[in-house]
Amino acid sequence: MDLIRIGDKLISRRKIDATLERIFALRRQGFSQQEAARQVGVDRTFVSRLETLGEVRRGKRIAVVGFPLANKGEVEAMLRQEGVEYTLLLTDTERWDFVRQKNGLELFNTIMEVVTRIRDYDVVIIIGSDYRIKVSEALLGRDVIGYVIGTSPIQGDRTVDVEELRQLVHQLAQD
């Protein structure tokens, strides 16, 4: 049951969960802490403390795009663990399948969708050849951090030093 007895009070966990969900929904919709608090009948300081209590990371939002990676799974796991919000990682086989399975217009539209998505992030880490990093910098026109795994054209998968990449993510999140 979702009822908890504390002294002479009977507390409903379901009611607490529903209130928290309502606060988070309002905040995601752009309501201020004060507006959200007013709508659910709590103090603004409660909303502030709630957000502080649940905060996982503060700092820059990071996206990581990289190919061709031999240790893709290991890199993905580390980035997930570090709270990186967007990743697009491909092995050499996956990158060529990605290109071959689309006609020119579909490929162009897909690439533009990816570019549009990653432009929302504060920092983008590009793992790839020296040439791909230069193209990404020109295309995105923003903070692009290059992690060079070879000179262009790269043929075959390359291994990324996961701990070195982890340190880079930490540094960028704090800057």
- What tokens appear for 21 in the block? 């969900």
pLDDT of residue 41: 95
5-42 b/e with 16+ CB inside 10 Å = b? eeeeeeeeeeeeeebeeebeebbeeebebeebbeeeee
Residues 79 and 130 in one domain: yes
| Residue 30 DSSP code | T
Residues 161 and 111 in one domain: yes
- Does residue 57 register a pLDDT over 60? no
Residues 144 and 66 in one domain: yes
Residues 49 and 70 in one domain: no
Q: Any residues with CB less than 8 A from the CB of 16 and at least 6 apart, and which?
A: none
Which of 169, 140, 168, 165 is closest to 72 using CA atoms? 165
Residues 83 and 140 in one domain: yes
pTM, to two decimals: 0.66
- The model's pLDDT over 142-163, given as tens digits with 9 standing for 90+, comes to 678 999 999 999 999 999 999 9
Residues 37 and 87 in one domain: no
CA distance 105 to 63: 25
pLDDT of residue 60: 80
Say which amino acid occupies 85.
Answer: E
Residues 47 and 75 in one domain: no
- The model's pLDDT over 87-106, given as tens digits with 9 standing for 90+, comes to 999 999 999 999 999 999 99
- What tokens appear for 45 in the block? 């300081």
**Residue ranges making up the domain that contains 161:** 62-174
Overall residue count recorded for the chain in this entry: 175
- CATH number of the domain within which 111 lies: 3.40.50
* Number of domains comprising the chain: 2
